Structure 1
């Protein structure tokens, strides 16, 4: 497909499967013909020791980490404004201080999208770390997703990143990389890339790619596949669920499981719940393939083992999704605590007092948006002050930071001795902070570069 296959930047094209890629025989692999791909992160801030635990808990071929949510891209965009050399997930580097040696000893490739807005910078930092800790590894990265300078996205856009597929990751691994870091790729690309490199899939192996996309979608949110955020959590011990892994096969089928002795559970219910997470129609479109979710077959193949089979794939769409993050304006918040009797009357008094304060002659501009919400967390005849209290939340928004700053915090604090009995707030009001807005755009896939950058 146009725009799908990644180019390689370096002295030559990648080698065929079996010559420097993941297809080199590994006698530690428990099952012939199976590629074991694990997950150690579902978001930026996930369990820090997961990378080490996954490397030491059982056999793996590839360990992946998903660090990029839409909010994360906004956070990294603000970081980049302060320091152009930043823009990647620094937690990943700290995890690698110990994990890099463990991965090399166990022959595990590491693939993560922790590069965020600066995959080249993260790759350089990983190489420096490897030299410092004395672990000789080849670090490659994938770029091309950052389209901020490619066109005019409108006022206030901080980040504009296309969701790339797994082709660039596959090229890096075929080129002999031990660690691959990317910017914005689809979450499932962290699985389709290694699987394509290992099994030698091409763009036309749609069913196999679709199976890998489904497996990648199950793995991408980490412990959500092993009992986390699960509606029927009461049926299992999910105090500390283990992270999931997939045993992939050449036809694209996979068995979802976890390391022995780890918490949580893998069953048809947990896998189904994750499969339905953030999906819409039966056609799950992505840059590698359109996976037909209505063809997925799940089979319980023993304790903590669910096999995914029968997945059919169709051609990917001709466009790529682009995630846009912009500064939407400025926001401030004050939470008033209302305790005891006459909660509704106390709430009306505060609202009237704040409205009068924001309309006072000395206020240059009142916020464009003022929203109140009363949460009745109080109970009659409560045994403690906290359980006798309700929360009245004030949220203001405006394009002008001054409109949500001192005028709002002053209006709240100055009521302290002249409002309802027992007046207090949950925290001192601040000066406000910028808030972000996410939206999606679409561009022709053929117009988006997709480059695998090898270390040499």
Structure 2
């Protein structure tokens, strides 16, 4: 069964859906439009218009792609329904009628728990793939969901196609791994890849998985499309936004420590050996709330006395805001300046002030007025990148967990029939979800000459966000490099290399089959991406920062 993906987020390449349909054969085309931040964006849309709440881009893509999909017999499965899957399903039916294309549209519901979380803008459980499977088994051509796990877009079609039951954990786990590799689109085909220079990634194609009845698969892409697929690109995506060896989901817990990757040919990576276990007894629920209001201003400091200029403006702004101080004021001085610079921009540093408060008035006019009034009364060369505005709302995200019985998972078919989806027949006790011990670590390499060099000359990395936490996956490509890395890059060494993490809990997970380490840094992202608590609010570049840090690397490895 060939399953391709045409979207990794709300805003991904618009033409990808058409390209995936026309560049090669597929059985199912998926589209992943949802992320933690997207749910907040859609919730704000719904506040303005109760009929909104879904990814409108999907409808525009479908206008030119529904015909080709129907002609080729490709079924479409998407979570673009967001907060309003029934509304999007109706919109797709209207579009199909207008285009004169006979398609059966079904949707999945039951994830919306907003009413059970007073004060939230959106609270949605992450459902599994068996609602999607029920829709497909009953003949749906297009299946629209709300908040399901990203991997469910693949496990659902695979379960329907191969007839898998809810306790066929190894097969389901294989599909979860395939879905996790596909879910972020071009990140599996060379996009955002540490060793991007090894292929042409100017316009990477989107990935697809050839899934077999035993749950194994081959990750590939359509012939002639850009980018590349190798063990490294697949490893990078496997590590993305995960934690330990057990990757828990609503249908199955996939054992990432059992994954085996083999380069089968050009742009073909076989994924096999995945073991699965019963899912946990609870479902994850993503809760988005309004956190308050934020405002910011960036002062440009040029030339000499950068530290003294920064101290002056901090004192002046502090005095001006003292009458009505915001709840939080954060200053960051970014030393982008160079001595004896050949351009003014290269001679300048940036001093950023971010304020937050529950009252928009506190972060609005007081900050704007105080910053602008310093224009002729501040440090020499005073100017800002842009004047501050009125202050904008920001959201906060948190995970909570509920029993499976707290949701009513339903497949709503094209003819109006409603098929309830049963919760898992079994679940793993919470104690069983603790980290696995794994095989013993290999012996460290023998002593020898070392070179002080960036870690990234040897190791790849990919990082991302999960609520307030960040994960950084690090991998190497040879056994000798693994012997060094697994002993060198401990959690304590990670804290030394990433000073932001020194006072935070850092957990290291070891994945020997992938020659990989995965670090989870708790709390580094504040209240989640929408709160914009740091320069890189989704920790997308945290791994690249780590790769740029220097270590004493054995000379023989370089």
TM-score, structure 2 as length reference: 0.73
CA distance in 1, matches of 2:300, 2:355: 18
TM-aligned CA deviation for residue 228 of structure 1 = 1.1
CA distance in 2, matches of 1:349, 1:135: 67
Query: Where does residue 384 of structure 1 map in the other structure?
Result: 343
1:232 to 181, 195, 204: 195
CA distance in 2, matches of 1:381, 1:197: 66
CA distance in 2, matches of 1:93, 1:353: 51
Query: Where does residue 70 of structure 2 map in the other structure?
Result: 104
TM-aligned CA deviation for residue 119 of structure 1 = 0.3
3-state SS, counterpart of residue 301 of structure 1: strand
TM-aligned CA deviation for residue 377 of structure 1 = 0.7
2:241 to 267, 278, 284: 278
Matched, 1:351 2:314: yes
Matched, 1:418 2:358: no
3-state SS, counterpart of residue 45 of structure 1: coil
CA distance in 2, matches of 1:325, 1:260: 41
Query: Where does residue 130 of structure 1 map in the other structure?
Result: 96
Query: Where does residue 396 of structure 2 map in the other structure?
Result: 437
3-state SS, counterpart of residue 434 of structure 1: strand
Matched, 1:298 2:261: yes
CA distance in 2, matches of 1:198, 1:52: 24
CA distance in 1, matches of 2:68, 2:299: 50
Query: Where does residue 255 of structure 1 map in the other structure?
Result: 218
- Unaligned residue ranges in structure 2 (runs of 5+): 416-558
3-state SS, counterpart of residue 103 of structure 1: helix
CA distance in 2, matches of 1:377, 1:134: 58
TM-aligned CA deviation for residue 390 of structure 1 = 0.8
CA distances 1:130-183 after superposition (whole Å, capped 9, x unpaired): 11122221111100000111x2x35x3111100000011001111111111100
5 Å-filtered alignment, 1:48-63, equals: 48-63=14-29
CA distance in 2, matches of 1:455, 1:366: 56
CA distances 1:420-447 after superposition (whole Å, capped 9, x unpaired): 1221111121011111111000000122
Matched, 1:199 2:139: no
Query: Where does residue 310 of structure 1 map in the other structure?
Result: 273
Matched, 1:407 2:370: no
CA distance in 1, matches of 2:79, 2:391: 31
CA distance in 2, matches of 1:377, 1:133: 54
CA distance in 1, matches of 2:255, 2:329: 44
CA distances 1:97-156 after superposition (whole Å, capped 9, x unpaired): 10111111111001000000000001111111111122221111100000111x2x35x3
Matched, 1:163 2:126: yes
Query: Where does residue 32 of structure 2 map in the other structure?
Result: 66
TM-aligned CA deviation for residue 76 of structure 1 = 0.7
Query: Where does residue 408 of structure 2 map in the other structure?
Result: 449
Aligned residues: 415
TM-score, structure 1 as length reference: 0.90
Moved more, 207-216 or 344-353: 344-353
CA distances 1:26-48 after superposition (whole Å, capped 9, x unpaired): xxxxxxxxx00001011001111
2:180 to 211, 217, 225: 217
Query: Where does residue 298 of structure 2 map in the other structure?
Result: 335
2:282 to 288, 313, 319: 319
TM-aligned CA deviation for residue 400 of structure 1 = 1.0
- Unaligned residue ranges in structure 1 (runs of 5+): 1-34
Show structure 1 runs of 4+ deviating over 4 A: none
3-state SS, counterpart of residue 332 of structure 1: strand
CA distances 1:51-81 after superposition (whole Å, capped 9, x unpaired): 0111111000100011000000011111111
Query: Where does residue 3 of structure 2 map in the other structure?
Result: 37
CA distance in 2, matches of 1:446, 1:162: 12
